[in-house]
Amino acid sequence: MLRALFKSSAKQIALHIEGTDEEFDRIYPRNIRRISEQHFTPLNVAKTAASFLVSRPATRVLDIGSGAGKFCFVGAASTKGVFAGIEQREDLVNLSNSIARKLHIQNVRFIHTNVMGIALKEFDAFYLFNPFYENVKAGERIDDTVLVSPSLFASYSSYTRSQLSEMPEGTRLATYYTSPSFIPNDYRQVESSSDGHLLLWEKCLFNQKTRESQMAP
């Protein structure tokens, strides 16, 4: 079923990806724009991450916890990749898909599910903006429409880490405001930006000591 999401098609982008975040966010209703600074990926971060993740045309990129879809829209507009976002809040999924249809963006889709409802092997690269943190930090929630708990944080984190571990060598991952301890040991950090908050990773064969040296202060 998921493979049907990735049929290639010409892009017709009408987004302000070269402008400011404020200009870009005008595609959203006012109530969504109000949470942009806290919950949306900044334009410069999204472009840097998407450029790294799309290593070849038609790379299938998954945004785990896509919110209102900003990262996926920026990636779809600025690369030749194919983007999908998964999000637990159905209203945000409906909004994102509606915007994609309105702007005729063919290389992006949004799916209403949590991370445990999807197999990561269907994708080639991944973006995580600390997607499970609201389960342990009430002040980080967008709203109260989804179930949250520390046990869900543990379950979602464990599932994602396990799935990432099973990905083939060369798999790319970008994390924003996400602890490196969340990342499986066989991923090496190849770059960082945005004052160290955006980390770019690639799966490779190397020993634990190498990873420990990367994480040392």
Residues 76-108: tens digit of each pLDDT? 999 999 999 999 999 999 999 999 999 999 999
Q: What is the pLDDT of residues 140-155, one digit of tens each?
A: 677 777 777 899 989 9
Q: How many CA atoms lie within 13 A of 14 on its CB side?
A: 8
Mean pLDDT of 184-195: 94
Split at pLDDT 50, 70, 90, the class of 215 is low
> Rg of the Cα trace of the chain?
16
The average confidence (pLDDT) of the chain is 87
Rounded Cα distance, 131 and 188, in Å: 21
> What's the pLDDT score for residue 161?
95
CATH superfamily of 2-215: Vaccinia Virus protein VP39 (3.40.50.150)
Helix then strand then coil, % of the chain, to nearest 5: 40, 20, 40
Rounded to two decimals, what is the model's pTM?
0.86
